[in-house]
Structure 1
Amino acid sequence: MSKPVFHYEQRRLENGLVALVPFDPTKHVTQFVKLIKESLADLFKYVSFPVIEAEADFIREVYDKISASPGDCLYAIFDKTTEHGEENSNSAGVISLTATNPANAVTEMGVIIFPAFQRTHISTNAIGLLLLWILDPPSAGGLGLRRVEWQTHAENQASRKAALRMGFELEGILRWQRVSPPGVGLPVEALEKRNGTTGELPGRHTAIFSIVWDEWDQKRPKILALMDRKR
């Protein structure tokens, strides 16, 4: 199990409703893996994700890779409106930063909310807290980055709506940008015929959204208002 090497000090982020806690396998992995296994069909229709049968699979295939990358960090999301401890049933999902580049002052956000907490205050507040940390200037406790991206399968309407709701702007569609899970995405029969291959995964067009620093002052009050609404 590797020690996180993220470019920035990864500190706890929270308000009265949600806490984002740096993911600690010794505390968080058991409940997380249990909920992942229960929610595979709902969570990963549009996302390629390793097969997770046991805690060791998650540590090896996901956590250790994130921890070894200076550009990546992972938070566990907890619902503070319940009375349970952080290792129990208020585990609401995870949120991450990837491809973080201090030289260019950019990063990419990703979020997984467990089904029981979808369409609640969790997503709005978790994303909002991370946006405040990313885009607020250092004088206000933020990282002062210039750009945060949100990437999603172009057919994932729920993810696209969530990005727009949280102030992200659609920049465009990257065609055939990556592979998709089996059964989801663009067919590859013609590609296999051309390349003389078999068993290739489907492809996907990726919708790219962003928020940038010079629009953040305008967008920030709207994000806070959404968080105040608790949904």
Structure 2
Amino acid sequence: MSAGEFYYEQKILENDLISLVPFDQDIHTSKLVHEVKTHDLLKFIPFPKFESNEEFIKSFWAPVRDAPGECLYAIIDKATARVSGESDAYAGTMALTATSKENAATEIGIMIFPAFQRTHVATNAVGLLLKYTLDPPPAGGLGLRRVEWKCHSENAGSRRAALRMGFEFEGIARWHRAFTLGDSAEELEKRNGTKGELRGRHTAIFAITWDEWDEKRPKVVALMERKH
């Protein structure tokens, strides 16, 4: 994604433990597709179904790559890379989506690969994006007014993570999303009252806003500085 297609420059965000680098189709696609095919990472995430690099690029990456308001980061675990001697440790993805310059608002999304779950990775990835989106421009941020976190209402882990990072629970949007991943048509209809393969999602909505960021920011930074 070029800077001209988004209202800010998509740049590397990093601290001593991780870095968020703009997603590179040639570098990051294969590992992402492998992780999704190997593990049940899409249970609660409305990604288009893909079985190959080509399907991922066509069904997900190509529409996102050039869309204003959308950007995708690869999470690199610098701490693991230092210990293992690897050149990098690709740990998952982080996204800003539905970003609106007019409304000064965005939504973040995160997918951590299983080997890096329950480590410092998620906390630092979310923390870096919160500082970038909510800090004022003189401090190097975008100065947005609202950052949302939306997840499947049944995704208890994601809901706990949102609260831990300082997001406020705002409610459930019923039948908010529909997607065709995972279960059989029979299981979907039994579980969600839908027809065919259309899975319905009740969405839990969380947010942090600019008028509470000054209070919440030190707590986010403290979480990032904890030794895990």
| TM-score scaled by length of structure 1 | 0.88
Structure 1 portions without partners, runs of 5+: 190-197
Shift of 1:104: 0.5
User: Which residue of the partner structure matches residue 87 of structure 2?
Assistant: 85
Which amino acid is 1:58 matched to? F
The reply to whether residue 147 of structure 1 matches residue 149 of structure 2 is: no
3-state DSSP of counterpart to 1:210: strand
- Residue number among 65, 73, 76 corresponding to 2:74 in the alignment: 76
Shift of 1:187: 2.2
Which amino acid is 1:54 matched to? S
Give the whole-Å Cα distance in 2 for the aligned partners of 1:71 and 1:134.
Answer: 13
Structure 2 portions without partners, runs of 5+: none
Which amino acid is 2:213 matched to? W
User: Which residue of the partner structure matches residue 107 of structure 1?
Assistant: 106
| TM-score scaled by length of structure 2 | 0.89
Give the whole-Å Cα distance in 2 for the aligned partners of 1:149 and 1:230.
Answer: 27
Cα shift readout 1:57-82 (whole Å, capped 9, x = no counterpart): 11111111111210100000010012
**Which deviates more, 199-208 or 163-172?**
199-208
User: Which residue of the partner structure matches residue 93 of structure 2?
Assistant: 94
Cα shift readout 1:101-158 (whole Å, capped 9, x = no counterpart): 0001000000000001000000000000010000000000000000000001111110
Cα RMSD, aligned residues only:
1.7
User: Which residue of the partner structure matches residue 218 of structure 1?
Assistant: 215
Give the whole-Å Cα distance in 2 for the aligned partners of 1:55 and 1:27.
Answer: 11
User: Which residue of the partner structure matches residue 158 of structure 1?
Assistant: 157
Give the whole-Å Cα distance in 2 for the aligned partners of 1:221 and 1:184.
Answer: 43
Give the whole-Å Cα distance in 1 for the aligned partners of 2:117 and 2:188.
Answer: 22
Which amino acid is 2:211 matched to? D
Cα shift readout 1:161-190 (whole Å, capped 9, x = no counterpart): 00000000001111111125434695225x
Q: 1:13 to 1:230 in 2, by over 3 A?
A: farther
User: Which residue of the partner structure matches residue 44 of structure 1?
Assistant: 42
Matched residue count = 217
Name the % identity. Answer: 54
Map 1:50-65 → 2, pairs under 5 A: 50-65=48-63
* 8 A contact 1:179–1:204 mirrored in 2: yes
3-state DSSP of counterpart to 2:126: helix
Shift of 1:30: 2.1
Give the whole-Å Cα distance in 1 for the aligned partners of 2:199 and 2:50.
Answer: 21
Q: 1:145 to 1:170 in 2, by over 3 A?
A: same
User: Which residue of the partner structure matches residue 172 of structure 2?
Assistant: 173
User: Which residue of the partner structure matches residue 192 of structure 1?
Assistant: none
